[in-house]
């Protein structure tokens, strides 16, 4: 299990007890005893965490006598750019089809491409759904942040972290619109008595969205710093930096509540918690030396590569960028080590029941 997966499992444990409670005690399965149960993971990505959640939900469902004999279908939903083939290859063999070397799955699986800010499933077709670490992804970038004549123009920054208040508010507005759309669509798709669980990075309240409240913001800030360096050296243009913006904005707990309860308010909130500075790591981060730290951060940089590619950055420039970023991380090793490599992020966690 790599370190990112360990983080996700640490985060997963924030949701699992209340999700299980809702599946066991609040979920109402369909009346007909033969109808399959449909589970969906929105923004599933790939990897052990995705499959871990599917297994967790199936195991919880199968402890119910009124579900135990039913077929369960797990739908893995994400943007079309998600590497669904990798996910499919990671699926354990279906029951009776393996060679006995790994635990088999009893559930059916499929992949569903699309955006979660629109409909992805037929009306009243899902029984249990989750979305983890996705609700801070915007449905689109605010137009004003790319408009040079707007006070929200995001000059010299790659996101709303520490941006001007006008830029951050433009981000937050698109985030609120997206959240409302997300819960509207899920309300259509999830059956009455169905369960929706989620967690995402979040803020305590809606004031100052430019303060996104996470310790590892230096990850983004170091990328920004590297970009500025390469602009100053003439390797990249000013515009390349000004026109690139991460489509991320952490919603506040009250913004989430407002979106969930927006009329017709189709969900009952079983749990909606704000967890200040939750640790992403199960144990303190440790690296043998600066080189190992640089290598790890360069590995994490891999998340940025598709975004840089779609921004039009040539692969050789992206390689150069990654190499300089790695070097900058190596240089900052002593300072980061003295601070204990803080990896805390404030999170919002919720379990909702479709009314």
Ligand X SMILES: C[S@@+](CC[C@H](N)C(=O)[O-])C[C@H]1O[C@@H](n2cnc3c(N)ncnc32)[C@H](O)[C@@H]1O
User: For residues 86 and 95, which CB has a smaller minimum distance to ligand X in the complex?
Assistant: 86
Q: Retrieve residue 259's tokens.
A: 């979106």
> Can you tell me the distance from the alpha carbon of 228 to that of 226, in angstroms, rounded to the nearest whole number?
5
Taking the complex as a whole, the smallest distance from the CB of residue 15 to ligand X amounts, in Å, to 10
Taking the complex as a whole, the smallest distance from the CB of residue 330 to ligand X amounts, in Å, to 25
User: For residues 78 and 330, which CB has a smaller minimum distance to ligand X in the complex?
Assistant: 78
Bridge partners of 236, per DSSP, are none
Taking the complex as a whole, the smallest distance from the CB of residue 113 to ligand X amounts, in Å, to 9
Sign of CA dihedral 86, 88, 93, 97: negative
User: For residues 110 and 291, which CB has a smaller minimum distance to ligand X in the complex?
Assistant: 110
> Can you tell me the distance from the alpha carbon of 11 to that of 63, in angstroms, rounded to the nearest whole number?
23
Q: How many residues does the chain have?
A: 355
Q: Nearest to ligand X by Cβ — which residue?
A: 43
> Can you tell me the distance from the alpha carbon of 198 to that of 72, in angstroms, rounded to the nearest whole number?
20
Sign of CA dihedral 177, 39, 47, 306: negative
User: For residues 7 and 293, which CB has a smaller minimum distance to ligand X in the complex?
Assistant: 7
User: Which residues would be at the binding site for ligand X (CB under 6 A)?
Assistant: 8, 42-45, 49, 78-79, 82, 115-117, 132-134, 137, 139
**Closest C-alpha among 142, 135, 137, 141 to residue 183:** 135
Taking the complex as a whole, the smallest distance from the CB of residue 3 to ligand X amounts, in Å, to 13
User: For residues 134 and 175, which CB has a smaller minimum distance to ligand X in the complex?
Assistant: 134
H or E segment to which residue 272 belongs = strand 267-279
User: For residues 196 and 230, which CB has a smaller minimum distance to ligand X in the complex?
Assistant: 196
Taking the complex as a whole, the smallest distance from the CB of residue 255 to ligand X amounts, in Å, to 17
Taking the complex as a whole, the smallest distance from the CB of residue 229 to ligand X amounts, in Å, to 27
Q: Retrieve residue 251's tokens.
A: 């919603």
């Amino acid at each position: 299990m790599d370190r990112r997966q360990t983080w996700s499992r640490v985060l997963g444990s924030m949701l699992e007890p209340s999700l299980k409670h809702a599946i066991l005690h609040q979920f109402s399965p369909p009346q007909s005893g033969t109808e399959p149960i449909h589970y969906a993971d929105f923004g599933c990505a790939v990897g052990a965490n995705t499959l871990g959640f599917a297994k967790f939900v199936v195991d919880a469902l199968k402890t119910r006598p009124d579900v135990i004999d039913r077929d369960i279908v797990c739908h893995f939903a994400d943007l079309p750019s998600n590497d669904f083939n990798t996910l499919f290859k990671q699926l354990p063999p279906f029951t009776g089809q393996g060679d006995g070397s790994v635990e088999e799955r009893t559930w059916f699986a499929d992949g569903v491409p699309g955006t979660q800010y629109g409909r992805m499933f037929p009306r009243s077709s899902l029984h249990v759904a989750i979305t983890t670490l996705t609700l801070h992804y915007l449905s689109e970038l605010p137009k004003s942040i790319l408009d040079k004549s707007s006070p929200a123009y995001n000059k010299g920054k790659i996101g709303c972290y520490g941006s001007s208040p006008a830029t951050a508010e433009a981000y937050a507005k698109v985030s609120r619109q997206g959240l409302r759309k997300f819960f509207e669509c899920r309300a259509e798709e999830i059956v009455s008595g169905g369960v929706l669980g989620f967690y995402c990075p979040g803020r305590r309240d809606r004031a100052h969205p430019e303060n996104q409240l996470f310790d590892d913001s230096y990850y983004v800030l170091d990328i920004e710093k590297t970009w500025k360096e390469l602009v100053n050296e003439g390797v990249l243009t000013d515009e390349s930096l000004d026109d690139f913006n991460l489509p991320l904005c952490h919603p506040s707990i009250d913004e989430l509540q407002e979106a969930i309860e927006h009329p017709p308010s189709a969900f009952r909130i079983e749990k909606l918690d704000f967890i200040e500075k939750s640790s992403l790591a199960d144990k303190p981060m440790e690296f043998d030396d600066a080189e190992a730290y640089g290598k790890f951060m360069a590995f994490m940089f891999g998340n940025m590569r598709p975004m840089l590619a779609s921004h039009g950055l040539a692969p050789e420039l992206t390689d150069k960028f990654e190499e300089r970023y790695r070097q900058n991380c190596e240089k900052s090793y002593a300072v980061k080590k003295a601070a204990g490599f803080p990896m805390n992020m404030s999170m919002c966690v919720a379990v909702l029941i479709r009314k």
